Structure 1
Amino acid sequence: MAEALVDLRSDTVTRPSPGMRRAMADAEVGDDVYGEDPTIRALEERVAGLLGHEAALFVPSGTMGNQIGMRLVCEPGQEVLCDADAHVVTYEMGAAAAVFGISTRTVVSGGGGQEGGTAASGRLDADALIAQVRPRDDWHLTATAAIAVENTHNRGGGLVQPLAQLERLWAWSREAGVAVHLDGARLFNASVAAGIDLATYGRLADTASVCLSKGLGAPVGSVLVAAAERIAAGRLWRKRLGGGMRQAGVLAAAGLYALDHHVARLAGDHEHARLLAKRLGVDPATVETNMVVLDDVPAPLVAEAAKAQGVLVSQVSPRRVRLVTHLDVDRAAVDRAADVLAGILDR
């Protein structure tokens, strides 16, 4: 009998657990476009509370959450400033410009800027971003309306942003009149790894998006939080973008189940990532959450050889491989993947 596939490409590949499936099947539903789905409302209220905001909006994807969040704090013709390897400018298909007429400008931080980034890239340096902000009162320049921060940072290898830097940026932004958007796709990982509650992170942003379908294991969905007035405007943008869903409580039920059962267990994913790193010659101290980065390796050859032995990995660049642990990868799967990959790398 063939061994089960070990899929380390991403934490997005998880499938709903039996308990989550039961919660989805039993969900009370209504028409969410009319505001009548009680399970959607329960999820929105809970996430808003967790992140210390007035209101929340359930959206189909993290990309939609990020893009609406940035549009709520940035007008067409203005710009969002962010890290050069940020998800919002790397993996969201130029949506800010294509859909909303928003410019983006980037700053290389923490050794990034190389193909595929580096394990140190993406570390927030508040003063480096602040130094690049363009004023609104100079008609020669494109005004910087917002700064976007990603926590954890995907292309930085799952790094957790330093709280002191987030606080520095927030304090400056209040005086400067520049908004902060938080791409918190994996903010739950950051919270568990750093021992910092979600509200502490959430209150350091005007708008923030968190994802339910990554480490938390829900099949689909993200939640955008902000002030109530902004979320009301966000509902209009969600409808315009085709994100108005009807009896979506079946999806919200998965998110609520994940919040109840899958947050604390993220610590196990982080430990599995460190174990995997140690087996593969990567310093475990560089693994802050659930991602392990193999640098300076022939990525296509490694991926092909691993796949042939039942282990899937992600090629970030020609010389970089990323491994992501998640709830569908137990200790036995980690050990098996480590055996396979160590053998390939030794060759």
Structure 2
Amino acid sequence: MSQYSPTDRPNGPVIADLRSDTVTKPCAGMRAAMAAAEVGDDVYGEDPNVTALEQRLADQMGKEEGLFLPSGTQSNLIAMLSHCGRGEEVIAGDSYHVIRYEAAGASVLGGVALHALPVAEDGGLDPEAIAGAVKEDDSHHPISRLLSLENTNYGQAVPLARIKAAVAAGRAAGLSIHLDGARFFNAITALGCGAEDLAAPFDSISICLSKGLGAPVGSVLVGPRDLMKRARRLRKMLGGGMRQAGVLAAAGLYALDHNVTSLAEDQHRAAALAEHLRALHLGTVTHATNMVFLTPRDGLDIVGAMAAQGVRLAAPAPATRMVLHSDIDDDAFAAILNGFTQAADARGAA
């Protein structure tokens, strides 16, 4: 079952929602920034907040330009279509979002082939597998054009050395390199590196503002000027050109100013939650950055049990993914820990 499938909804008030870090609501400060935003028509290039957001992230990543987009899915799609023509190929991990959760948009809309490789336990790709996936110059095959990596992957912050080895294999084969950095700032928080350290090996990077950073909507694609010119045309073609989008860009700017440093707290809470679950013996537990994965013991309806405690969880697939985020404060976190304790007590009494 997909992590995006419907889940049990608590009968009473929702105390905490752990299904994803996309469920966050704008805080009062972010709403005030949105309300006060100066706006203009972004399709004409006249929205000051959009321009500021695009250039800020481009500069932070050491790239020439940025492009504000409605979603991470559209950002990745436009990146792949900007790098690749019809009959060309993207190589990516079989559990990466561009392969598993984006409806094969590059293939459906752009005629781009997707080649899936096994993903290692740390979320990286094996350089030899990358080299082996690149097609020879033969009319029977698509033309291998782009390597698309991901960081984080299922919460795993892929080490820089692993990233650089995969990029080197791609470069040796003449591939361009894209990063799905939906949780880019979670990755650099866990790795303890700067933004440009992770960004430097890539031609293009997609950065999500609503995952972890708490903005209501939006991603920014960054890269070289010629690539971003193609990307801007594709954004218009795909219906992603927005007009007075400064109210949304203002939320992204607020998130960059106020919500990056709190990612370390989310990751600390995830580690504490994993330790708590292991102590309760509710099943197999793993965690990485701001995510915790619980594979419940046989017969344990953990989703229903936690719904009764006012905590929303994703359905097991087979593990239940729990994502810590900016809306989980100390009180909500205490309620989560207590809810799992109550579920364990009820399980023991059954």
TM-score between both structures, scaled by the size of structure 1: 0.91
Q: Is 1:176 matched with 2:167?
A: no
The aligned residue for residue 338 of structure 1 is 337
Question: For residue 60 of structure 2, what is the amino acid of its counterpart?
Answer: L
C-alpha spacing 1:339/1:167, structure 2 compared with 1 (3 Å): same
- The alpha-carbon distance between structure 1 residues 218 and 134, as it changes in their structure 2 partners (threshold 3 A), is same
In structure 2, the partner of 1:38 is 48
Distance 1:299 1:127 in 2: 41
The counterpart of 2:36, out of the listed 26, 34, 37, is 26
The alignment partner of 2:244 has SS state of coil
Q: Partners in 2 of 1:267 and 1:44 — Cα distance?
A: 25
SS in 2 for 1:263: coil
TM superposition shift of 1:172:
3.1
Do the aligned partners of residues 75 and 180 (structure 1) sit closer, same or farther apart at CA in structure 2, a change above 3 Å counting?
Answer: same
Report the counterpart of residue 108 of structure 2 in structure 1: 98
Cα-to-partner distance string for 1:205-247 (whole Å, 9 max, x where unaligned): 1111000001100000000011011111101100011000000
TM-score norm. by structure 2 comes to 0.90
Give the match for residue 89 of structure 1: 99
Aligned: 1:245 with 2:242: yes
SS across alignment from 1:252: helix
User: Retained in 2: the 8 A contact 1:213–1:222?
Assistant: yes
Unpaired runs of 5+ residues, structure 2, are 1-11
The answer to whether the 8 A contact 1:302-1:345 is kept is no
Partner of 2:310: 310
User: 1:208–1:299: structure 2 CA closer, same or farther, 3 Å change rule?
Assistant: farther
Query: 1:257 & 1:92 partners in 2: Cα distance?
Result: 28
Letter in 1 for 2:174: G
Distance verdict in 2 for CA 1:341–1:59, change over 3 Å = same
For this pair of structures, how many residues does the alignment match? Answer: 332
Which residue is 2:119 aligned to?
A: 109
Partner of 2:212: 215
Deviations 1:77-97 (A, max 9, x none): 111111111111111111111
2:319 aligns with 320
2: CA distance, partners of 1:258 / 1:177 = 36
| CA deviation vs aligned residue, 1:109-137 (integer Å, no higher than 9, x gap) | 22xxxxxxxxx4x6213314323322352
Q: CA deviation at 1:22?
A: 0.7
Q: CA deviation at 1:18?
A: 0.5
- 1:293 matched to 2:293? The reply is yes
- Deviation of residue 143 (structure 1)? 2.3
Q: 1:144 maps to which residue? A: 144
2:212 corresponds to 1:202? no
- 1:62 to partner: Cα distance: 0.3
> How big is the shift at 1:297?
4.0
Tell me which residue corresponds to 2:4. Answer: none
Conserved in 1, the CA contact under 8 Å of 2:91 and 2:130?
A: no
Q: Which residue of 1 aligns with 2:8?
A: none
Which one of 62, 65, 68 corresponds to residue 52 of structure 1? 62
Mapped contact 1:70–1:207 kept (Cα < 8 A)? no
Contact 2:39–2:48 (CA under 8 A) maintained in structure 1: yes
Deviation larger for 41-50 or 292-301: 292-301
Return 78-87 or 285-294, whichever deviates more. Answer: 285-294
2:112 maps to a residue whose letter is I
Equivalent of 1:189, from 186, 211, 215?
186
The answer to whether the 8 Å contact 1:82/1:104 transfers is yes
SS state of the match for residue 225, structure 1?
A: strand
How many angstroms apart in 1 are the aligned matches of 2:136 and 2:300? 46
CA contact (8 A) 1:14 1:217 kept: yes
Does the 8 A contact of 1:135 with 1:143 survive in 2?
A: yes
Overall identity of the aligned pairs, in %: 45
**Map of 1:115 onto structure 2:** none
List alignment gaps of at least 5 residues for structure 1: 111-119
Are the equivalent residues in 2 in contact too, given 1:82–1:129 (CA < 8 A)?
A: no
After TM superposition, which residue ranges in structure 1, 4 or more long, deviate above 6 angstroms?
282-285
Q: Partner of 1:162 in structure 2?
A: 159
Go from structure 1 to structure 2 and tell me whether the alpha carbon gap of 1:198 and 1:316 turns closer, same or farther (over 3 Å shift).
farther
The equivalent of 1:278 in structure 2 is 275
The answer to whether the Cα contact below 8 Å between 1:299 and 1:321 also exists between their aligned partners in 2 is: no
For 1:243, what is the secondary structure of its paired residue?
Answer: coil
